[in-house]
Structure 1
Amino acid sequence: MPAPLVLISAAMAVPSGFYRPLVEELEQRGWEARALPTRGFERGEPTASRTHDWSYASEMALIADEVAKARADQPDRPVILLGHSLGAQICAGHELHHEPSDGFVAVGASVPHFRSYPKAGLPVLFLGVSVPVVARIRGFVPKPFFGAPGARTLMREWARFVRSGKPPFAVPKRITTPSLVVQLQGDTYAVSRSNKIFTEAFLDPEHSTRWVYLKDAVPEGGTTHHVMWVKTPGPVVDRIIAWWGEVEK
């Protein structure tokens, strides 16, 4: 079987170019990889505004299109979705509501319910309450707010997720796609509890593996920071490749 193609779905407000080190690391191992465009954050593309809006569902549909194109181009090559942070939530929705991929990797994933965070989750709850107010007034979420410039619908859906703990899409069953959840030790955005809730809420335990990327395992100059792990992704790529070898057995 050919080596997989990895389609990377970005974290909130992170442009696709940021994932170049991850793409290169995967390709050095003989895999194929591509970071999908981050709507509203690619150079030369329109940003969110009162007239330019999108949602979780529309993002899930874009991933479905990319998976279908990849399979049409190379039918024998497995397609793995790698979702980072918000991208992991969107990929989870894709796996539940579209033709699933062959593998799902979630890095820095969470159910961002405020109650799963320290300090009673009050800083996170503040975002969950303030973001929809600003989005309603301005028609989008402007800077300097979190995730800005953010699309009105997606950010309101995300904020509701923060307040209620209920995802902005139905979860009729657990995902049975072979899945790997990577928890970044010390991640202050996807804290351990919220990451465990993500795993339990979305993934069938018989088809999923959870791995904690420990600070002791980072290469020189590396980190397990929620976003900056991408700069030195070798240990994460090592674990993904080892996991996929177990899936293929």
Structure 2
Amino acid sequence: MSDPIVLVSPAMAVPSRFYRPLVAAFEDVGWQARALGRRGFEPDTPVASRSADWSYGDEIADLADAVSAARREDPERPVLLMGHSLGAQLAIGLQSSADPGRTADGLVLVGASVPHHRYYPYGGLPMLAFASAIPVLARVLGHLPKPAFGAPGAATLMREWAHFVRTGEPPFDASSKVSTPTFVVHLQADAYAVSAANKRFIELFCEPSAVTRWVYTQDATPDGGTTDHVQWVRHPSVVVDRVVRWWGDAADRR
């Protein structure tokens, strides 16, 4: 079987160019990879405003289009969808709801979480306060302005995310658990996708037999590396090597 192509779905408010080191690391091991755009944060997309709004569903549809395009380019090549943070949520939303021809052959999820405030220290009270303010700000201003987390954020998507934080209920169909081979990377120093929120993500969305969970510890990082929620991308070789190993093992089991 051909080596896969990796489609990277970015974190909230993170542009595709940030993932250049990750794309390069995959190419160094002979795989193809590309970072997908995040609406509102790419040079060719409008910034969120009262007249430019979108939802989780719109972002999931973008992922489905990207997977379909990769399959048209090379129907024999497997497609791995690598979701980071918000991108992990969108990847699960895609696998749960899209037609099989528009879903991936495998998932790699980094910094994935159910961001319900109760999974965070001290009851996640700062998160809860922020999530409670988002609907008001979005209604009054038509978007979530800087310097708020995720800003400039689309009103609908940020309201949906805030509802997820307040209730733990995902803003997409999760009635069927994902059985796609899935590699979950939990970052040891991740203050956003803490261990309890990461484990709840797996429990809520994934068939247990489909999941391999790996904790990326700080002592395993290369020189200059980190297991921070975002900055791990700057030195991604250890993660890439583990993904390659996991995919080979998964292929042997199929």
What are the within-5 Å matches in structure 2 for residues 1-249 of structure 1? 1-98=1-98, 99=100, 100-249=103-252
Measured against aligned partners, the alpha-carbon deviations of 1:93-115 in whole angstroms (never above 9, x if no partner) come to 00001132100010000000000
Shift of 1:45: 2.8
SS at match of 1:8: strand
Give the drift of 1:44.
Answer: 4.5
Please give the per-residue CA displacement for 1:149-202, whole angstroms capped at 9, x wherever unaligned: 000000000000000000001212110010000000021000010000001111
Counterpart of 1:180 in 2: which secondary structure? Answer: strand
Matched residue SS, 1:189: coil
Q: Percent identity?
A: 57
Q: State the Cα deviation string for residues 25-44 of structure 1 (Å, max 9, x = none).
A: 00110000000011101125
Cα distance in structure 2, aligned partners of 1:203 and 1:45: 32
**How many angstroms apart in 1 are the aligned matches of 2:108 and 2:92?**
10
Secondary structure at the residue paired with 1:126? helix
- Aligned residue for 2:57, secondary structure, equals helix
Q: 2:73 is matched by which residue type in structure 1?
A: D
Distance 1:44 1:56 in 2: 20
Instruction: Name the CA distance, whole Å, in 2 between partners of 1:210 and 1:126.
Output: 31
Count of aligned pairs between the two proteins: 249
CA offset digits 1:29-81 (Å, max 9, x no partner) = 00000000111011253100001011001110111011111111100000000
- How far does residue 126 in structure 1 lie from its aligned partner after superposition? 1.3
| Cα separation, 2, equivalents of 1:210 and 1:131 | 32
Structure 1 residue runs of 4 or more that deviate by more than 4 Å after TM superposition = none
Amino acid at match of 1:7: L
Return the alpha-carbon distance in structure 2 between the equivalents of residues 28 and 186 of structure 1: 26
Q: How far did residue 131 of structure 1 move?
A: 1.2
Q: Distance in 2 between matches of 1:102 and 1:245?
A: 13
Structure 1 unaligned residues grouped into runs of 5+: none
| TM-score, L = length of structure 1 | 0.99
Distance in 2 between the 1:58 and 1:45 partners?
14
